Structure formats: C-alpha cells, structure tokens
Structure 1
Amino acid sequence: MDSGRQPGVSYRMIGLVAAVLVVLGGVAGYRALAPGAIADRAETAYPRSAPSAQPGVYGTLLAAPIVVDGRLRVYASKQQVYADDPVNIKSTMSPFWSYRRWPAQVLGVVAVGTTVVTQWSDGELVALNATTGAVAWQAKLTLPGGLVYTGRRTGASTVYDPSRLYSAGRTVVAAGATQVRGYDAGTGRQLWQRPASACSNDFTGPDVFVSVTTCGQPAVHAYAAATGAPLSWPQAALTPVGCALGHSGCQGVRDSQGAWAIGTGGALTPAPVLARPGVWVTGDVAVVPHGDGQVAGVGLTDNRQLWTAEGRVIAVEPGVVHLAVPVPGFRFLEVTTLDATSGESLSGYLLKPQASQPFDLGQVYAVDRFLFIERVNPGATPDQPDSAYYFPTPNVIVAGS
C-alpha cells in the first residue's frame, strides 16, 4: 500500500516545489526589474595599498573607468555603477561592489576621496562609500526631462565628462533644472544653493564653481565652491581651459579678448598662453601643440618656453605629459611620458596590445601614471553607431607610464 501512495506524495511535493520556485522566480524578477535600487556590497576586504604604474600595456578592458583612491576602477553603464580591482590588472574583473537602479539611468559619476557620487535621470544623487559599496548619502534635485545615459558602449563620457555633476576640492556640485547645489562629498550636507540658468556652460576651478549663461543676456556667475559665496568675475563669454577631468578642476578661462589662470579663491591672473588653440595645462606649465607635429612646454604666467618635443598630447596629469608619437613605417603609436617642467622623457613604449590590429585613439584618461585609452576603428567618427565606431571589444586599453 505504501508503494501505491508514494507516487501521489511525490507529485504533491513536486507541485509544491514548483510553486515555491515560481514565487521565488517572481521575487527575483521583481528585485531585478521593479523600480528601486539594488546594492551589492563588497564581500572582500578593501585593497590595502595602491599599485604603482610601470611603463607598458597591461591589457584591455570592456569599459572605461575612473580610478578611486588609487585602488579601485569605477565604471558606469546605463543603469549600473560598479567597481573592480586592482587598478593594474589586465582585464575586467568581477565587481568588487555594484549599485543598480531601475528605471532611472546614470547621467554622471564623480569621485572625491573614497566617496563616489552618482547622478541619475530621475534627479537622485546617490553617494557610495568606495571601500564597501554601501550608500553613504542621498539627495534629490529636479532635472529637466528627457535626460538619458550618454556613455555609449564604454561609459567614457559618463565618468570622464558628466554634464551636470562637478567636483571642486571636497565639494560636489550638481546642476538641476532651476537650482545648482553644492554638497559636502563626505557627509552629503547641502552647503549652498543658487539659481540655475536655462542654458549655461558650467565648470569648476580648484575651489570655485562658475556658470556662464549662453543664451539671452550674457552673464558669468562665479561662486566659492565650499560656501556658495558670490565672486567678482569678468562678464564675458568665458570658456574653461585645462580641466582635470571633464569640466571639473579647470585651471584657466579664456574669451576672445584674453586668457587667465584660476588661482586660490577664484582669483584670476593673466595667462596669454591659454588663449592658444588646443592648449593643455599641468601645474604651472601650459603644453601647446604646434602644427608641425611638435609640442612645447610654456610657463603658464611668464610665457617662457621650457622645452619642445615631438608628438600629440593625449593626456596630462600633475607633473607629467603623455604624448602619442608616430613610429615611421609602423601603424601603431608610441606613448611617451615627459616631465612637465623639464621635458625630460620618463618612459616610452609601443601602444600595441597583444594580437591587436591598428586602431585610432578615442577618449584618454590618465591618473597616477596609469592610462586608460578607448580604441576606435581607424577613420571612424563619433556620429557613427557603436558597432562602426568602436574597435571590436574589448574597447579600452589599460597601460602604465
């Protein structure tokens, strides 16, 4: 008789298990797709030290990161911000932590110390503790409608040039539809609030936030980044020069009449060299391209030529200049790193990942002597779809100098 009842028990158990799986599947689907956020915090220890860069190509990555605290690579995709480590590993790793939201999209990412601040299309500002991936603070700012993720396949523009999110010292500045607000990056405390222009060119200097109205009556509004106190700046069609990343940390401004270096407290000092086309800035040195394939290092305020070198500037960082130099008879470039003050060559190597075909350079990010370089199909232009624009995946080179 037991053998007669056992199949019935098995069928009931199977039915129960199936029902449980359906319920669990529904919960899982809701967790992944329903409006809200999912924070997958770090399950391993935060890296104890930051690796030192060594000259050469390490490998290739699937996306373009910013480096946080010298220890993590932080990336953005349409609805996720995530990190991996170590900085110098040759390929994309499983996330150290990740943060996802739905249906909002990522608009921008900035990092200050070990705080990663993200801006989303629904107006949410979400700050993450880079050491754990936990949410550190949140704020809300009304944004214009229709803003979407613009990072394309690699996320580069979202982390390298966010359009409404800036940093200046310990302050994060977020621009909304009608207001601009400054926040303490570590605590999320709102430091100040100012009206936002309907159309403006916004940027930060070392400790200043500047908004230049680009429609209607021209106007320049400059504020101390830490307090929001107004500063007296020229009323002209100013554009930023020598920005550290995107439109943050800019070291100068220029207009049709002249150019100025931005000093402590937002003070402006004449710097005529910044009026030259394509100029880069690192510290007290302006790096000026010439039409003959040469570049020159020039004193920022005294206009004194310090050195010349062959190549095209692809990135600068404190104290160094990174050049791409053609190699006669070869289709790959050499990356040369110079001391910004003396022009002395510090390192050089062929920019050729293993088994790679020739490519053009897209966006380039340099930090702590590491380089992250987008690979673009030769001759491709940004208006083409990703499949035609980007070199076949992986799309980003990680290298050292």
Structure 2
Amino acid sequence: MKAGLFLGLLALGSPAFPESVIITADRMVDVVSGRMVAKPVIVVVDGRIVSVDGSGAPADAKRIDLAGLTLLPGLIDMHTHLTSDPRIGRIDRFLKTDGYWTLVGAANAEAMLRVGFTTVRNLGSGRLDDVALKQAIDDGRIPGPRIVPATHALGATGGHCDNNWLPPSLAQKAAGVADGPEALRAKVREARKFGAEVIKTCATGGVFSRNTEVGQQQQREEELRAIAEEARMWGLTTAAHAHGTEGIKAAIRAGITTIEHASLIDDEGIRLAKERGTFLSMDIYNTEFTQAEGRKYGVLEDNLRKDREVAEAQRINFRKAHEAGVKMVFGSDAGVMPHDQAPRQFAVMVRYGMTPLEAIRAATLNAAEALAKSADLGRIAPGRFADMVAVRGDPLADVTELERVAVVIKGGVVVADVRLDVTGR
C-alpha cells in the first residue's frame, strides 16, 4: 500500500467518521474572500465542519496538526472517466474481460484522491461502473473521492456517444443512445433509476470517437431541451459534450447546466453562456498528453488530427470566455490522460488568463455550485463536508503547489499523507 493512503479507512463496510476532530495548520485559503487566514482551528464532528475558529470543540476531539502547511477545500474535478486508461490501446481493450474496467476505475479513483480531488463527476460509464465505485467508496470498502455518477452517456445513433468501432456484423448500440425528444426523456429516467446524479449527453462529435467530427452537431435543440427539462424535473443537473459552435449554443439555449469542452464556442455562445448562467468546463491541459504520448498508445491519426484542430482554439476561447465573465468550472477529462495528471490543468488555466485564485475557485466554489451541492462542498466552512487538501507553499502565489499536495482529508479523516514513510508510520 502506498504511503499513508488508507490511513483513514475504518472497518471495511463502514463509512463512519471519527466523532470529533480538530485540524490545525499554518494557513488556510478562504476561497470566498480570496484571503489567506492564519492559524485556522477547524472543528469537525461526524465528518462535517462545525467551526473554523476552534469554537464548539469537544474536549475529547482527536487532533490533526498540519504544521507548516496551507489548507484549501478539497478539489472537485467536474469531468472524469474513472474506468478509462489512455495507456491501454484500442486493440488491447478488446482483450480485456468486462469486469476489468471496474478494477481500473478503482485504481483511478484512488489516484485522484491521492492528488487532492475529494469529489469527482464521472461523465459516462459503460456498465454502471461509476455507480458501483460510488457504492464501494461510500461503504468504506475502497479508497476514493465522492463520486457524482452519470451512468450511461446519452447520445444519437452513430454519434460520439455511440459504439462506432465495430463492423456491422458485430454492431453494438451504446446503452444511452436514443433519437427524438421522448426517447431521450425515457433515457433520462432510466439513467436516474440506475443511480445517475447528473445526465451527460453528446450534442456534437468528438475527438476520440470514430466517424464523427468535433464541430458536427448531433442532437437537435428540442432533443437537448427534452433532456434538460426531464433531468430538472427529477432533480438532476446536466452536462453536454459539445465541441462544435452550433451544438454549444443549442445546449445553452436548451438549459443544460454545464457545457463540456466548448472548444469552438463563438462570441454569441459566450454571450449566451454569460446571460443564462451556464457553466463552461474546458479541458485545456490534456492535449499535451495526447499529442506527446497518444501515438505510442495506439491513438489513430484521425483522432490525433481532431485533437490538434481544436487544441489551441479551445485555449483561446477559454481566455475569451473567462474575460467575458462566463462561469467556469474545473474539468480535466481525466481518462484521456492519466488521472494523476489532472492537477496540471491548474497551471494551464492560469497561463490562459485566470489568476491562481480563480483557477482554485473553478475547482471548489464554482464546481460545488454547478453540482447544486454548495451546502456540502467547495468551502472550508461550517456545515460543509470536512474535505480538504494541504500544500507546503502558497497556492495563491504559485498554483503549481496543487501539483504537489502533501495531505488529503476526506470527511475529517486523513486519507493520504506524503510526509509519511513507505510503511505508513
């Protein structure tokens, strides 16, 4: 077992938390005010924060001393694929048994927790693996972040979220594929029935699919509106994979919560997103892995071509949308690159116009709002889950500190601590 990873795991099958904990550190980032708070004393009872000034601390509370470290809220990645690994080539994937991918997901969930992501949104899972992982993590059986699962991604026949890699004699239709508003409403209900907490749909073509182009709209606005309305009625948020200009705008007008990728968004799309409070989740780091390593792992030239075509355009549009005041969340598309590389996106977000604080807010305050979970996540504040990360330096001055997380706390329990030696002592 890696150093300190499972320090907080209690008896298998029990997600219980210590009754009370006091956490101290040298500094704490208040993501709301943007200020650094000196010497926080965070009181945690039953996994939630009671105070940040030491008030209300039980006399018998366990103490966690993070001397010399800076605390931030636990990070939230809004676009992950836990059951994917880009280092497994397309042909090799056909050689794996179905259950293999659940185990891949367990390893990737652990990796994301270790680097500081205490909550992830998993946008699409072939066999409901994201629900299985969530259940096992919540039950305390395996380590991992809080998971917001989407189950099957919805999409059009032959589109980005369909299975287009097999010949007609072996043709398979992806579980979330449907055509027409009423059929898609039924798919929303089915996804929720089996555990979805967010509905993901594919409004345009994509980089890593076959026989689709990134700019190509694949769902009509009335189909996207049916998905958004049905999800909202059931109390769910929505996410639309949308690289192409017209698909992005159709998804925004339809009332989708977050637009994923948004690579080719134009000025009208930026205006619409700002007016309607739509969040953009733009994965502006992972192209570096794809272009450097993709060919080695069997990514086809057609997919590499599409990645090149959108890479810089997406980054330029990220800058434009941010400057216009559009609400942005952190979404890495982990699974397109190795999951432990997700924190590298913070530096790219700063390179393309954000301040370190704005990049941190994208993965905390903004992400919690987009998840409709602001009462639980996104801040170190009373009432929220006691999910935190600690770094050695000042992330408001150098956002790359988030690439070197020292301690991860989930629900008031230390679940990773790189300061410990390999024995976990």
TM-score by length of 2: 0.28
Greater helix percent: which structure? 2
TM-score by length of 1: 0.29
- More relative contact order, 1 or 2 (CA 8 Å, 6+ apart): 2
Structure with higher Rg: it is: 1
